Amino acid sequence: MTVEKPNTSSLLQGATAPAPEAFPGEQAAFGAEAPLRLDCGVDLGPFTLAYQTYGTLNAAKTNAILVCHALTGDQFCAERHPLTGRPGWWELMVGGGRPIDTDRYFVLCVNVIGGCMGSTGPKEVDPATGKPWGTRFPIVTIADMVRAQRLLIDRLGIEKLFCVIGGSMGGMQVLQWAARYPERLHAAVPIATAAYHTAQNIAFHEVGRQAIMADPDWDEGNYLDSGKVPRRGLSVARMTAHVTYLSETALHEKFGRRLQDRRGLSYGFEADFQVESYLRYQGSSFVDRFDANSYLYITRAMDYFDLAAEYGGVLARAFEGTSVRFCVVSFTSDWLFPTSEAKHIVRALNAAAADVSFVEVESDKGHDAFLLDEAEFHETLNGFLNGCAEPLGLPIRDLVPWDPTRGDPTLDRVT
């Protein structure tokens, strides 16, 4: 996909930050003179945000869409990933003729702070010690991620985003944006998400974190100092999480009880079944592109997310007086962030007299459905964005059918 990018180099001159490892894409430095106060009470600065842009920012700067990524996602939502070679994790959604149309919109995707794809996080160097932060890095929250994103939006001179959109953890960021900075966006699309992390989801995350920390190569979080990688623990964490992204129906249809490259049972502990082989592949490939400590930090940020807690326990208060237009989306087979959680958000928005649309998409693909080729979902989003664009004088357009010759952009899901 060929996209045009605005020349932003002159806009991004500012505070210097510890240089992260060489990484393709855009980067901006913040916080040298005015550090970012984190929810944990620590002042972070200087720090770097890594991001990618697609499409062209119009002269009025009214066509910008911020895409917020999920737990293991990154800024490379609509281009081949520089580390894995895989297609962008949302190429089905972002691109020319797609719902988030780069021929009409300027699309921005930022790697969250605490991440490992160029933004400052536990794998980057602590200027005070000259060594990787490791677990000395301060705990970050969803609100901290959004505050950092706002600094980048300010640097780019964008007064008001056309839309903020994201699924799963990205949806949490969308809700935080709408609650904290309603004057900075026209529309918000939280997808397959919730206003707080449930006990069940916290439990799954804790299993993953304990798997990482139980790996001897984790070395109390200092594995980068010793040149180690807690591959086994991080792989198990990814395997456990990946099961939650799929529905039972999807697992059955994709794998059933079919054997993997064998005619009979091995009567051992190799990967007899296709589903076992698939999960092992997901675990091993994940280790090659993601940092174990970042996994600890970002899952913790999701666990701490509880938007209503910031407003006296009443979620509707988060949206009082908002002028933001909302489209809340859930999927019927998503048991990780079920429709009941989406309806909780919708009820709060209704109580706040917000302009809200709600769509439950029929799908058997589970939580991962927001990353996949779901026609109803894509048509819904395209219609919503068209409806928001028309009053602003932005162009509207029908979807262009996905070209299967471009390959499958969902081979390596990044939920």
N-term to C-term CA, the chain: 22
Q: Name which of 314, 292, 326, 384 is nearest 190 in CA terms.
A: 326
Would you call 51 helix, strand, or coil by DSSP?
strand
* Partners of 205 in the β-ladder: none
* Partners of 352 in the β-ladder: none
Task: With beta carbons less than 8 A apart as the criterion, state whether 189 and 381 touch.
Answer: yes
Over the range 323-350, which residues count as b (16 or more CB within 10 Å of their CB) and which as e?
ebbbbbbbbbbbebbbbebbebbbebbe
Tokens describing residue 193: 């998400």
Name the DSSP letter for residue 150: H
Catalytic residues: 168, 334, 367
Place of tokens 């666990």: 303
Tokens describing residue 87: 């297609």
Sequence-separated (6 or more) residues with CB below 8 Å from residue 237: 207, 208, 209, 211, 212, 295
- Asked whether the CA dihedral 201, 204, 208, 209 is positive or negative, the reply is positive
- Asked whether the CA dihedral 272, 276, 282, 288 is positive or negative, the reply is negative
Sequence-separated (6 or more) residues with CB below 8 Å from residue 39: 139, 140, 141, 143, 144, 304
Name the DSSP letter for residue 166: E
Q: Name which of 191, 197, 175 is nearest 319 in CA terms.
A: 175
Amino acid symbol at 114:
G
- Helix, strand and coil percent figures for the chain, each rounded to 5: 40, 15, 45
